[in-house]
Amino acid sequence: MKILPEHSVENELLLIFISVLLGLLIGAEREYRNKSAGLRTFILVCFGACLFTILSVVIGVDDPDRIAANIITGIGFLGAGVIFKGDNKIDGITTATTIWATASIGMAVGAGHIYIALLGTLLVLLVLSMLTYMEKLIDKNHKITEYRITVSHPEDLRYCEQVFEHHHLKASISKQKYSHGTFSITWIITGKKRSHELLIKVLKNNSRIISYEF
């Protein structure tokens, strides 16, 4: 249901203001979590989608959905720019999908569907908050971390495996490197967060471990 069915200058300015406000709310959440796309990005995405939607109605007399449809394509390229590969996972997907959802909210505002836009904003913020809580919960019980451990003797590799087993951690080797009498092994370690913390203490105070990083 449209709240502002008539496209007057006053109504269009109000729609633009609402889109900026909703983009600000989502952008503030991303900025607070120090994500790659922050406050200004989400304000501009929501505002731009709203403005393009208004223009598609105003100037697209014969085909009003043509401009609006191209917004999705443009947002796809923008979202792809914030996705990058981390050490052992792909980062930025949540931010990219949030940009995509924010554009849809801007389009809803531009079309005058304020109730849908408000509901969409609320749902986006709820999903982002719940997602963070669930990530922490999963991370607490099933944390996956990449460790690079350097030792001086081949038999120390078995020793490392025993340390992992003692702390109830599952380990698999992803890379091996031998250089100047030292062995550098990259392990993918899976287990509870508390077990990882105990492992780090063992690695830090162990004379058989030359160096480690994660």
Are residues 143 and 191 in contact, defined by beta-carbon separation less than 8 angstroms?
A: yes
* Same domain as 125, residue 71: yes
pLDDT digits 0-9 by tens, 69-116: 777 777 777 666 666 655 556 667 788 888 889 999 999 998 889 999
Edge-to-edge, what's the strand order for the sheet holding 170-179? 170-179, 182-191, 143-151, 211-213
3, part of any domain: no
Torsion of CA 158, 159, 162, 167, to 10 degrees: -140
Identify the pLDDT of residue 84.
Answer: 61
* Same domain as 92, residue 186: no
Identify the pLDDT of residue 38.
Answer: 76
Are residues 149 and 160 in contact, defined by beta-carbon separation less than 8 angstroms?
A: yes
The two structure tokens encoding residue 145? 């971390």
Q: Which helix (H) or strand (E) holds 139?
A: helix 114-141
Identify the pLDDT of residue 90.
Answer: 62
Give every residue of the chain whose pLDDT is below 50, as ranges: none
CATH at 190: 3.30.70.260
* Same domain as 109, residue 122: yes
pTM of the model: 0.69
Of 94, 123, 139, the domain-final residue: 139
19, part of any domain: yes
133, part of any domain: yes
Identify the pLDDT of residue 89.
Answer: 60
Domain that includes residue 196, residue range: 142-213
* Same domain as 129, residue 82: yes
What residue has token string 């008539």? 6
Structural domain tally of the chain?
A: 2
* Same domain as 93, residue 154: no
